Every structure is written in C-alpha cells, then in structure tokens.
Structure 1
C-alpha cells in the first residue's frame, strides 16, 4: 500500500499535521512514517519571471522604455522560476510528488486563495497525475486536523479557487510590470540622495488605495471652515434640573449660521417659562458586536492598542499557529450552523483567569443561535478561540492583548443585549423648541464582559452619525422625573459659536474600511458583511498594501494619520488630470469590480480567459496613452520620495533648524557565526549618519539597546538619536550577505530581539539561504543568524 503525501504551507503547519497523525520520522525537508510523508513550502517557492524573459533584448534594449511595452504573455505562456533560496525544498517536494511510493496527495496549505495558489504552482510544475484532495480546516488543533482529514474535498471543488489565484497573480504581474516600467520611463528620474532610480510603482490595488488617501487630502485642503451657532438652555423643575438644545422643527439637522438669529432666540427665551410638549420613553436593546473578522479585529486593535494593520496580521497568524485562535485571514463575522454543537467546547477552552466567572455565566445562558452569530459564511468563519486551552502566560505581551480581545468578543455573543431606558423630551419656550435626550442603563447584558474603561474609550461602542457628521448631542443626560405638559422654569439660555470641521485623514483602520468598501467607509457592521467581495484587495493583502505605499515613498504616517507625500499627490493628479485612459488605475469601484470578477472566476461564473482579456485590453490602452503623452510633452519627472519617514506612534525626535541631524559614528567590523555558517558584516570605519527630517520630525524605530534613547533612520544607517549625549549605537545599511535591512526589520529587531524571516541571503559560495537576524551583542550592534528549525 502506497503512502499519502501532505504538502503544508510552512514547517510549523507541517509539525501540527505530524503531531495529529503521529508522524515522528524527521528527515531533511520532510517527515515520514509508514503511512504519511509530510513536506512543506516556505510560502511561494516559485515566482513569475520578469518581463525581460519574454523580450528580445537585442532588439528592444535593456533600458526601461515604452518601446519595450506592453509585455502580455498568453495565459499558458506565463513562466515561473524557483525563487532564490527555495531550490532545495522545491526539489524535495517534486521528488515526493513523482515518487512511486506516493499513492495520493493532499494539499494542506492555508485554506484560502493564496494558499491554494502556492500549492498549485508546485503541483502544476510536477505534472503529477496522482489522486489529489484538499484539506480545508479553520484551526490547527489536533481535533480539527483529524476531522478535516475525514472530510477531504476533491480537487475539482477548489479548481475555481486555483484559477482565481492564477488570475490574481497574472493580473498583478501585467499591471505592475508593464505600468511600473511605463510610468517610470516617462515620469521617473534618478534619486541622487538614495543613489538609485526614483521608481514610479503602479499596482492594481496599490494605486487606487493611494488615490483614496490623496483625494482625502485634497478635500482637507479645499475645506473652508464655516461658523455655526448652537443655542442651549438649562431648565428647572421641582424635581431637579435638566439641559436642552434648540433645534428646527421643520428640518431637524438644520444649523444656525447667523449669530444674530442665535442671539434673537436667546433674547426671546431668556427667563421665560417653558412647557414640556413631548415626552417619549422606551426601552431599547443594544446587541453584542459581531464576532471579529480580520478587518474589524484590526480596526479594534488599532484603536485600543495602537497596532498597525501589518502588526495585527502578524500577531493573529502567530496565535493561529499556536492553536490559540481559528484561521485569521477571514472576511466573515459569522459562524456556520455546523459549529453550534461544538461551541461549548470552544467556551470551555477559555475557562481560566481572567475569564472563569464570565465563562461559567455564559455556559448557563445557552449556545448563541441568532442570525448575528450563526449565519451564511464565506470561505472561513469568524475568528474565535479554538477548542484547545492556551497557556496565556506563554504568549508574548502583544499576543496576550490580541487574544484577550478575541476571547472577550467571543464571550460577548453568549450574553443577552444590553438594555437601556431611553427618554426624549421636547421643551418649548415662547414657541422655540429645545430637545433633551437621556439614556439609563437598565441591564449591562454583554457589556459586563468589558470593563467600564473599555466602553468609555469606545472600543465596542457604535459611532452614531447624522448627515455625515458626528452627533454632538449629549444622549446620556441624567434626567429628573418629568411628565408631558409639565411647566418648567428657564434658568439660563446661551449660544455657543462653533465651526465645521474638515474631513479627517485616514488612520490605518479607516483606510481598511474604505478599502473593504471600495472607497466607501461602511460603519454598520451588518451592512458591511452584506457587501463583501467588491473591495480593494483582500483581508490578507490590505496591510501589506499600506506598508508598500509607505516603503515606496507615496505616503507617510503622522501619529496615526496617513498623509500623501508630494510624490504620491503628483502621481494621482497626473493620472486624474492628464491621463483619462489610466483613470481606471485610481478608481476604487473599478478595482473593486475586478476583485469581484475574481470571485466569479472562483465560483466558475467567469472564465480566467475572459478575466485576463479585460486586464490586457486595459493595459494596452494605458500604454498607448503613455506613448501619446511622451510624443506631445516628453518626459516629466515626478517629485522624489521624502528622504525621511514621518513619525508614527513612537517618540518624536526634533531636528535642527534646517531639518537635519548629522552624527559622526565610528563602526567596528564584526564577524557573526551560527551553525557553522559565517558571514562578514562589513562596517564603515568612519562616516556620517545624516537624517533629513520632514516637517522637523523623524520616525522613532524603537528603543536604543545601548542607552535607552530612540533609534532613528539615517541615510547610511540606523542610529541612536542621543548621539550628542555620547551614544554611539549604529546599525549601518551596509549589505549583510547581499541584504540591506529595512526600517520594519529594524523595528522588529529592536522590539523582539529578532527580525522576521529574511529570504535571499547569499553565502560566500553564492548559495541562497533564509534566516532571522538576532542580537549577538545588542549594545555593540553585533548580529548573528538564527535559522528556522523544524
């Protein structure tokens, strides 16, 4: 009897499969016993070849130009090559796919479009014809894995998913490769500060996302503040006092724009008797918030803990791999009907401090079955704790914070709605109406899951809006006993001058909402669930899009707000004002429709050939438009990206009068060794770190391990801002085995003591490898490699 081959997405996933199946034989690149062989990818092992592979370079030349474009390989002509550093593992997988010892194959990569694609790439390359099944699970617990293996899906059931994955990859390649080269050839230049080309990067999702941020900035710039006036009163009864605010009976949202009108109302009503003409009282219920999908989790974690979108995705993935939560890359906030019998197990798994009392009470209330919890799901259900008890103390501090949010949101849906007694009073004085609203909590219901501080901070409170502006009425006034027809005394009437506020810049959370709604921020959580599928990108790709926009110099982050750079604004203005055919690149609705069409490919409602034909036609039109522009106007370089990033949420280091801080450093060459591999990390013996600030601020990347100051980015290195005080900590930007560390990698190193896994290092012999960088001596900025162990 032959063996079953399971291909996982990464080593950690393979380990969980091995544990569930009792596979203990560890070999180089795989695990094996008498029934199973379990191997793994490292994400995508293959990548699409660059455009030059499809060109006659002797004819078109090696320099980027419009003359070489467009490059649009036919659907079956796209070629993939093994990524640098992935050859060994790729060969392991191919060997087992072709082995006569293997009788059947199971795709065990992450159960989503990208997971399917990265398996499909190696499967298609092997031309394997063995029976193929798909493992589709939402958590990595032993029980979930074993149950999933009993309910394998046939390969045909995910053929549409695979086609959509190819369509996404091919379309992104067509857009990115053709239009980045085309725009750079026409609007790029050489960046003398960075000593490299100023690339004008274009992306199918990236560019319309940039347009959202730029257009919001233009709205702010065009905004002219308008004064308005509010007339408020204080009324007295024998039972106590209460406030009121004037409103227009014929048009409730109407504002008073004239000072004289406001003063006339004050003069007319001051000291005059009033009467309560309307008194509405009712009990209202507020249900628990929906369970988390990745977007709502990111927004909540950003508000509460200041986590970036990329950080939330990283923490959620880590919790998933530690079997603490279910699959995080989901756009669904509901659970499926078949989960109902298992929910008590999920509840039991979180019964530990500080949730014990809440779990016991929730268990007595019965399993939640309402449509706000149990409903139609997409590929994966909402994010909830798994059925395995987690040792919370073994999670790092940030993981504990995110896990706590997920547990409490899960517990909340077991509890009844919060109940309020709501009162609305209209008091008339000399024919002028004043409204008063009060709300008293009768029963906390689900709100007992949260502390009062969290509710006060608006972590789970819904934001109510009226006419696109936040309501400013106090709806929680404490009211004395009142009755309709009651006479009251007007103690005081006064007017307040206010001004209209400009639109707010996007935070990362706001931008996620706008991307999900294809440019429209949808606050109603139920409506948001109903409008899935037409957004910019996917829940898994949106955080990376934001990071790319910052890394490519299109946007900066000031505190929590995202703001376009001059380069970003000029690109969007150019497209909107001078390139009509290219305007689909900045249309959130158009890109959202493309994402929707990909979902139709996945469902078999649209062929990938039809999808790609639309993509190729659009790119062809844009390239022709760029050629026409060049003939009429020549090359028009856009602004360079800023040479320093603006501060996000860390400390701010002030620069000097000219916005520059220059520090002379002396570096020492270090040699790091690990696992018998060695590498020289070249250091400059004497140089300058120059930091060019934008608006007088430089981003703090983390805490200096030498003195506790703030580490900032310079042109030639990452150094301590306290250099004037004598701290000489610096990590130079000299390549380490061919790789230069990025600001995000430095942030991780300073915060966690290690970078994320970095791929593409080159050894002295020319071999590629992947590794983490960790501290050998943090105070002296000495690093060493750490390799991922199975």
Structure 2
C-alpha cells in the first residue's frame, strides 16, 4: 500500500481526486491502485516547552534556556489523526510526502515520518496549486524525498532559532516588566523586534519634524491652441529663498506675481517623449497585502487568510509565494482560465477583451522560484465572503492584465519665459490605454491627474492670464500602514546605509518570509507595542520603551537578514543545522545580559507585594478583580501571593487590632463570599485561628450555630432535615432547613411557621 501524507485536509482532498476516490474512512481517503491519502493539521508535532525539558524551567526566572537535545510533542488537538497516520505507516510499502511546497511543509511531514521511525521508500509530491491540471502534472513529476533533506533542515533551524530568541528574550523582558508592575507578557522575536524598531523610529522622526512654510507660484497661460498651468522656477539669484531653494518670502513672491501678471512671453523649450508601461506583474503575497491595504484597508492577516481560503477552494494558486513570475509552460492554459473568468461577475468585459496568445514579461520560467505568482486556476467561484471576493477580483484582474498591450502615452514638458522668469509645465497624453482598461495598478496610490498640454511649438507666444500663490508646508515622512510595512520588510535594504549590507538584504528578499510577515505584525499588536490609527500603524508608549531596551543586534535588520541568508544556505546544503543553532545559542546569554537593569514605566499606580516588595499585578478573571505576585522564588513560603481587590487597590491584610481571644497577635483582614455571591469581610488571628466578623472595623465573635435534626425530611432524597436559627445583619430572625443527604443532596429551604417552606429554596449549603 502507498500512503500519501498531505499537510492539511484540503490538499489531501485535491490529491485524492487526482488519484481517483474509492471511499472515505475516518482520517484518510481510499484511492485507486491500493493507495490512501491521509493528512496532518499543519504542525501536528510541536516544539516542547521549557518545562517539558526540565520542570525547573517552568519558572520564568530560569534563564538562559538552551535545550540539549531538541524534542517534539504531539499537538493535543491532533493526537487522534497522528495515531491514524501511524497505523497507516505500519501497513505501508511506500510513502508519498505531500507537504506544502516550501521548507515548512517539508519539515511538517518529514518530522511525522521520523516520529514513527519510517525508513522506507519515500517520494516527494511538489504541488503548488490545487486545480486538477496542476495535481495531475505534479503526480507525474514526483522525485525522491531524500533530495529535500536540506530544505527540512532549514525549516527546523528557523524554528529553533525563533524558539531560542523568543523564549529567552520574552521571559527576560516580561520579568523586567513585572518588576516594574506591568502585568502583561512582553514578547520579542527576530523579525518583530526589527519591525518594531522601524515603527518607533518613524514615529519619533515624525514627532521631531518641524514643518516649514513655503510658497509655490502657479500661473495660467493662454496660447493660440488653448491654455495650460505652469509653476514658477526660482533662479539662482531669486530673493526670498530658503536653503533648500524654496520660496518662503511672501513679499518676494508678490513681486514675481506683479511682474508677470498680464505679461507676454514665449515657449523656450519643448519636449515630447513617447513612452510605454507594461502591465504590473501578477501578485506575490507581499504585493497583494500592500495593494489590499491601500485599496481595501485590509490587514495583512486578513489578506493572508482570504488568499489561503481561495487556495483551499481551488480558486487561486499557492498564496505564500515570494515570486511574481509565471512559468512559460503554463501559458497554454491561459485561454481556458480567461474563458472561465469571462463568466465571473465584474470581470466579463476585461476577460473577453484579453488576447490569450499575448505573452507579457511575467512569463519567465527562469525567474520562477519554489512557487510562481498567485493567479486564478480557472475554477468557478461559488460562495465567497466579501473579503474573499475582493481578493479574488484583485488576483484575477492582475492576471487578465497580462493579456493586454502596454499603456502607451506621451510625456510633455515645456518651459515658458515671461518677464525674465521661468515657468515649467508638464503634461501627459494617453495614446493607447492598454492594460489600464482592466484597472489601475493596485500597488500605487492615486496620483493627481496630469494635464494634457495644448498644441504648441518652441518659440510660440504665451500670455500670463493669472498667477496665484499656493501656500505649502513641508511634510513629515508618511506613517506606516500594514501594506507599507509588509513592503518594507520585503525590501528592508532600502533602510540600510551600509552598501554591503544592502546587497545581502536585497539578495535574501528582506526579513521574515511571505508566510510570517503578517504574523509578526499581529504579534506586535497583541503585545501592545503598536496599534492601528485609522489606516496607519503607530507605536505605543510601551512599544517605544521596549524598542529602547532591546539589544541593538536584535533590532538590526542586517542581523536578522543574515540569519535568513544562513537558512537559505542550509536549504542549499551550504551550511549545517547544528552549526547554525549552536552559534545562535552561544549568543543568547549575551542578549540577556544586554538588558541589564532596564526599567519600564507603567501608567497604573503600583502596590507592593507584602511578601517580596515587588509590584503586584492587577488581574481580572470572570469579572472578578484580584492582585497577584508570582515571584515565588522571592517569597518565604515559595507560593504565589493572591490578594482580593479592595476598591481598586489590593486588600491590606494587616491591622492594628489585637486578637480578643489570645492577645498574641494582630488580627488579619480577609474577604469571603456568601452562597448568594455577595462578599463579606472578616478577621482571623494568625496565632490562634479564631475568626471574627468585621462590624465597621470592629471584630465581633462569629458564633457557631448548632444544627438539630427536625421531624421533616427532604422531598428529593428522603433524608432528615436539620434546622438552624439565626439573625441577619438587619436584626431579622431566620430559620433554615438543610438536607443532611450530603454529598448527593445539598439543598436548603427557608423556614415558615416552624416548618420548611419548600416553595422558598435557600440555595446550596
């Protein structure tokens, strides 16, 4: 029997349909030719946590944490499926590895095979798209899985690196935060720390920016063939300019306006240049996330989820790709895909007008990496969510554009001279809209529409009809958005000055991967380091403090990119898994030491723990507020301190009241809860354990009321009822009958006229 192991159920179903389904069982699909297809649920095996290696590592102060012999454990939610895979492997003669076509997908299935000790024949199914044609092509081109061992090692190296940095630095930062009264977890990671530094640096640059006022003079000129707008170009001797050559003096501006208004001049230079612009390339994930952020205000996470859902529905190809090119071998399938898109609402005219025989620059097999660009498969969309439909249309339009001609236009520039002053005008004339009939380039912001200049020639006379001053301000750098941050992560070399580092970063395509960049942004938001402000992402006060505390090497994109480069070398067999992890493990103590005695300022008022003096943390659980301190290593009894909330502050147990019974100690204050859910205060002596009610700060002995059996029995279980009398705080006497059928029956009833009133339950005892 041949067992196919897919990374997820959707992939398994597509493979099974390609093989021919004979029947379905719990956890696998039976196919033709004595073959079965089973599946994982992503990372069905996960890295062990520190306490799995050593119980002492459960304490967050146990640092550094560097495992000697890495281990995996089954995901609790997937144990049943893992057992199913194991049972199938016991019967297998051969295995087909059908993980996703990337290093993570390689590792996921490889580790399952290693978990069960499988050493038999294994082939690799490399499937980038779930449509039927792609499945059949992939099934016919399988290779030996052993050739992908280095790819698996790169995934494992990346995961262990993230584990070492994430676990150690997150615990260290969180400990610093707790020492200063911050209750939440402060996370750190190799990608998110570099991104946080980008956001913080941009926000500080904006905060320090001082806008400068300046003036732009715009004139309206008339010629025989029409009119046009032009702007004043200050000369070297022009008065009223700042150091940047901007006109800043209004008196000088008014003098220029007065000198040209109503005056005649002539065109002294004229240039018309024909140009053309090819269709933008199809999307990779980063480009899609940037475009959707700008056009639809969607988060990077939402875009990835929508694209992944479309892939699993077989409507589009693999989404986690970094490539924007397509293999020439798939050009022959264009007519079928365009024909299908012509039936999709919103795409009819664009798809029908496309020329399937046209070959754009996107078709270049030599530039295709592990996965080609995201394109439609030609399968017909059925029921889609609003976000899925929006992303599908963006992907489809980008594909359709490849089958239209280029945008052809003419750029026009002229300079007019009037009263010894120069005025520049530019224009653009569209000659053939080409691919723009399908839609604009989604990756670009809307641009101001350029004027088309009238028909003029060099030397033609012009008249300045009117001129006006446009008051401008210099602008700070733009705030980050999800889309621009994703693009910055992919093109981080643009933010590095060192020439050699620029080359390294560009070759390795930035920091993070197509699959992890959105997750890095989500982690920063969850930690409270950044937040959304409209479309923008801005840093918080906490984010700025953490960015200052983090070691420079962890924030430096060059360092992070170098890690990525080593991972690429591992995948190519040029570097070793153990060498990479060992080198990083040696750096962990240095990173921890760099934190020193850093402080984090919190906004809330601090209250000291009565056991260790460190700030208490305010917690909320099921609307119940309490205060705690988990620094057990500093507590005399080694236990966590819990204190109830007392009107917004931790309850102070200490009092100056001597115990009325023994006189040996001061009473301590406690809070209790009644059966009806209400709270009450009481005192307890730590010496003799006597308890007292708290009557407006005065201890009052809590008398024990004896229960006596009555002649009445419980209507539910038939056991005798015990009777108890008492007096409420308001002075009203009460009687209660309690069932003695403990523990099976715990019911009580209020008394009335000396008998239990079974219509008036008193609740549980």
TM, length-normalised to structure 1: 0.71
The equivalent of 1:556 in structure 2 is: 531
Alignment map for 1:175-214 (pairs within 5 Å): 175-189=165-179, 197-214=183-200
The equivalent of 1:85 in structure 2 is: 77
Alignment map for 1:339-738 (pairs within 5 Å): 339-354=330-345, 355-363=347-355, 366-370=357-361, 375-386=366-377, 388-390=378-380, 392-450=381-439, 455=440, 459=442, 461=444, 476-518=450-492, 520=494, 531=506, 533-575=508-550, 582-626=551-595, 629-630=596-597, 636-639=599-602
CA distance in 1, matches of 2:525, 2:209: 25
CA distance in 1, matches of 2:579, 2:258: 70
User: Are the counterparts in 1 of residues 360 and 402 from structure 2 also a CA contact under 8 Å?
Assistant: no
CA distance in 2, matches of 1:357, 1:463: 23
Matched, 1:119 2:105: no
User: Are the counterparts in 1 of residues 96 and 122 from structure 2 also a CA contact under 8 Å?
Assistant: yes
The equivalent of 2:34 in structure 1 is: 35
CA distance in 2, matches of 1:95, 1:347: 44
CA distance in 1, matches of 2:343, 2:604: 50
User: Are the counterparts in 1 of residues 317 and 376 from structure 2 also a CA contact under 8 Å?
Assistant: yes
Aligned counterpart for 1:283 among listed residues 274, 299, 302: 274
Matched, 1:64 2:60: yes
User: Are the counterparts in 2 of residues 373 and 413 from structure 1 also a CA contact under 8 Å?
Assistant: no
Aligned counterpart for 1:26 among listed residues 21, 24, 27: 24
The equivalent of 1:682 in structure 2 is: none
Aligned counterpart for 2:298 among listed residues 303, 307, 313: 307
Matched, 1:163 2:148: no
Indicate how the Cα distance of structure 1 residues 475 and 403 shifts in structure 2: closer, same or farther if over 3 A, else same.
closer
Kindly state the Cα deviation for residue 559 of structure 1 after the two structures are TM-superposed.
1.1
The equivalent of 2:53 in structure 1 is: 54
CA distance in 1, matches of 2:382, 2:24: 30
3-state SS of the aligned residue for 1:105?
strand
User: Are the counterparts in 2 of residues 247 and 435 from structure 1 also a CA contact under 8 Å?
Assistant: yes
3-state SS of the aligned residue for 2:105?
helix
TM, length-normalised to structure 2: 0.73
Indicate how the Cα distance of structure 1 residues 400 and 62 shifts in structure 2: closer, same or farther if over 3 A, else same.
closer
Q: Which runs of 5+ in 2 are unaligned?
A: 497-501, 606-621, 624-647, 649-765
The equivalent of 1:140 in structure 2 is: 130
CA distance in 2, matches of 1:178, 1:283: 59
Indicate how the Cα distance of structure 1 residues 12 and 583 shifts in structure 2: closer, same or farther if over 3 A, else same.
same
The equivalent of 2:695 in structure 1 is: none
The equivalent of 1:236 in structure 2 is: 222
User: Are the counterparts in 2 of residues 333 and 529 from structure 1 also a CA contact under 8 Å?
Assistant: no
CA distance in 2, matches of 1:114, 1:487: 68
The equivalent of 1:149 in structure 2 is: 139
Indicate how the Cα distance of structure 1 residues 351 and 478 shifts in structure 2: closer, same or farther if over 3 A, else same.
closer
Matched, 1:174 2:164: yes
User: Are the counterparts in 2 of residues 359 and 411 from structure 1 also a CA contact under 8 Å?
Assistant: yes
More displaced 10-residue stretch of structure 1: 352-361 or 480-489: 352-361
User: Are the counterparts in 2 of residues 198 and 641 from structure 1 also a CA contact under 8 Å?
Assistant: no
Indicate how the Cα distance of structure 1 residues 563 and 356 shifts in structure 2: closer, same or farther if over 3 A, else same.
closer
3-state SS of the aligned residue for 1:115?
helix
3-state SS of the aligned residue for 1:107?
strand
3-state SS of the aligned residue for 2:489?
helix
Kindly state the Cα deviation for residue 210 of structure 1 after the two structures are TM-superposed.
1.1
Kindly state the Cα deviation for residue 520 of structure 1 after the two structures are TM-superposed.
3.4
Indicate how the Cα distance of structure 1 residues 263 and 570 shifts in structure 2: closer, same or farther if over 3 A, else same.
same
RMSD, aligned CA: 3.0
User: Are the counterparts in 1 of residues 165 and 190 from structure 2 also a CA contact under 8 Å?
Assistant: yes
User: Radius of gyration: which is bigger?
Assistant: 2
CA distance in 1, matches of 2:340, 2:385: 19
The equivalent of 1:331 in structure 2 is: 322
Kindly state the Cα deviation for residue 498 of structure 1 after the two structures are TM-superposed.
1.0
Indicate how the Cα distance of structure 1 residues 328 and 371 shifts in structure 2: closer, same or farther if over 3 A, else same.
closer
Kindly state the Cα deviation for residue 150 of structure 1 after the two structures are TM-superposed.
1.1
Aligned counterpart for 2:231 among listed residues 239, 245, 254: 245
